[in-house]
Amino acid sequence: MYVRTLSFALEGIEAVPVQVEVDVSPGIPTFDIVGLPDAAVRESRERVRAAVRNGGWGFPTQRITVNLAPAYTRKGGAGFDLAIALGILAAVGVVPADALRKVAVAGELALDGSLRPVRGALAMAVAAPFVGSPTLILPAESAAEAALAGADARPAGSLKDVVNHLTGRCPLQPAVPPEEGEVAEAKPLPDLAEVYGQSIARRALEVAAAGGHNLLLVGPPGAGKSLLARCLPGILPPLSHAESLEVSRIHSVAGQLPGGRLLRQRPYRAPHHCASRSAILGGGSPLRPGEITLAHHGVLFLDELPEFNRQVLEGLRQPLEEGQVQLSRVHGSLTFPARPMLVAAANPCPCGHLGDPSRECTCSPVAISLYRSRISGPLLDRFDMQLFLSPVPYEEVAGAACRGRAESSAEVRARVEQARRVQEERLRGSGAACNAHMSPAQTRRFCRIPPEGQRLMRQAMNRMGLTLRGHDRVLRVARTIADLDGKEEIETAHLAEALQYRCMERRFGAGSGAVSAV
């Protein structure tokens, strides 16, 4: 007997419908699965066989052929177990075949017939209505997640629960999505009030957060680079509902979403510098999102930037410009969204003390030059803001202790959210979410500068060697500073401040003459 049901395969962050066709016919007992299955799918034969028998049904001793269509789509993971088991039970008359045509199912089977959660439940819920399947049956741990997208998701604890539902003995109740306030638990973030001194760096962090600008922090060890980066998510506005669903779907596909709860806080990813190209940009078999995609709409922090593999760093250039990662392999290509704020930290030299007024640099000019060459000019040009941090003197620490806590993250976040609202209104319908995402045409339209500012920019391009990309990035930063200042037009003072965040050359290697930039 021939039976067909619907399930899903994951391609990137999308769920692709897969028709699971099961044919049970007389012949030598065999169990074959075709349709480009991977090892995990082929192993489902043993899981399904044991789950059916332990559920109290006899497993057919006939020729069983399972086809996963379309055959040109690679299928991976154990999520097809439930669909295959139901197809076999329908073929032998345990489950009505017509009932399977009205649902889509996914789930991994344990040997005792219980169901284990699957990756990508949220993506499946988004895709189900487009293939004519109003009801989605999932493991209990995954159903609440699918309900977040408004799908009619039914949670099941075991294969027997699904059979009882399809036969009408004990219908499964719809999954209830969590309350709006019930979101994934976020790790506690440091507060900006914990940062001593570094008033210029605090201001730069606020500007970067307000406009979504990429930020490079350079300075000796202990200057506060990592602490400032960890404070950044605390001053960013919360994710909108649409952004939250998109980010949650990415983490669901990656298997990193706490079951049934949306992510509201912007993601913060800080991979170690030994991470591979596939770990940062995405890859593997099957293709999975990398850190730059997991940081979508959030922060990607690369500490010790020069220590990262050169190929990894160069691979970031295109995604930072286009907002997506295109991965091509022999068996096809996928596109992942990648629109994070890139924040990086680096020492000025191998020993870390170049430009430190209290400690002498012990690196040779050759060592400094080699260290600097690990970061290419094109990559450096993609940082809108580049800031040098000096060590905090004791007087500032003591003074901060006397004055009490500095301005908190909540106070800064209020100004950032106001600036973001201004940008959202200005860029509505343009496809850009903030100033950093503006296209060249939008930059020309919204970043008009006065004649005095044009003269300043001309001098800056001549003396600083700004590229056209760098010129536009300065204008976008100036637009953000004007938004924070509540100004409709960019003023010369806004441009001057924006240019200060590109002038690291004057801050590096004082007295050494060896290095002008990282």
pLDDT tops 50 at residue 396: yes
Quick check: 493 pLDDT over 90?
A: yes
pLDDT at 479 (0 to 100): 97
Confidence class for position 513, pLDDT limits 50, 70, 90: very low
Question: So what's the pLDDT on residue 59?
Answer: 94
Mean model confidence pLDDT for the chain:
88
**Statement: residue 31 has pLDDT above 60:** yes
Cis preceding linkage at 70, omega within 30: yes
> Using omega within 30 degrees of 0 as the cis cutoff, is the peptide bond preceding 286 cis?
yes
Quick one: average pLDDT of 304-310? 94
Beta strands 135-139; 152-156: pairing state = parallel
Mean pLDDT of 98-108: 93
Predicted local distance difference test score (pLDDT) of residue 405: 64
Q: Is the pLDDT of residue 517 over 60?
A: no
List of residues 6+ apart from 264 with CB closer than 8 A = 183, 184, 186, 238, 239, 244
CA distance 431 to 423: 12
The predicted pLDDT at position 259 comes to 60
| Confidence at residue 186, expressed as pLDDT on a 0 to 100 scale | 55
How confident is the model at residue 179, as a pLDDT? 59
Please report the DSSP string for 429-486 in residue order: TSS--SGGG--HHHHHHH----HHHHHHHHHHHHHH---HHHHHHHHHHHHHHHHHTT
Alpha-carbon distance 307 to 346, whole Å?
9
Q: Please give the CATH topology (third level) of the domain spanning 192-431.
A: Rossmann fold (3.40.50)
pLDDT average, residue stretch 165-180? 85
- Residue listed under structure tokens 């979410």: 433
Give yes or no for residue 393 having a pLDDT over 80.
no
Give the pLDDT mean for 49-57: 95
Structure tokens at 518: 């990282």
For 260-304, what is each residue's pLDDT tens digit? 678 888 999 999 999 999 999 998 877 889 999 999 999 999 999
61, pLDDT greater than 60? yes
Residue 507's pLDDT is 43
In the chain, the percentage of residues whose pLDDT exceeds 70 is 92
Q: Which one has a higher pLDDT value, 130 or 136?
A: 136
Give CA–CA dist 221/390, Å, rounded: 10
Across residues 209-216, what is the average pLDDT?
A: 96
Mean pLDDT of 212-238: 93
Query: pLDDT value at position 205?
Result: 96
Of the chain, the percentage scoring pLDDT greater than 90 comes to: 65
DSSP-derived secondary structure for 251-277 = HHHTT-S-TT-B--SPPEE---TT--H
What mean pLDDT comes out for the span 295-322? 94
Class of domain 2-166: alpha beta
> Hey, do 2-166 and 192-431 end up sharing a CATH topology, with the first three levels equal?
no
pLDDT at 351 over 70: yes
The structure's pTM equals 0.87
Look at residue 512 in the predicted model and tell me its pLDDT.
36
Give the pLDDT mean for 108-129.
93
Q: How confident is the model at residue 150 (pLDDT cuts 50, 70, 90)?
A: confident
Bridge partners, 385 (sequence order): 215
Mean pLDDT confidence for 188-200: 84
Domain spans of the chain? 2-166, 192-431
Q: b/e string for 157-179 if b means 16 or more Cβ within 10 A?
A: ebbbbbbbbbeeeeebeebebbe
Q: What is the mean pLDDT of residues 474-499?
A: 95
Is the Cβ–Cβ distance between 136 and 175 less than 8 Å?
A: no
Residue 99 banded pLDDT, cuts 50, 70, 90: very high
Q: 165-169, 258-262, 346-350, 418-422: lowest mean pLDDT where?
A: 258-262
Which one, of 341, 485, 342, 501, lies nearest residue 419 by Cα?
485
Mean pLDDT (whole number) for 140-145? 87
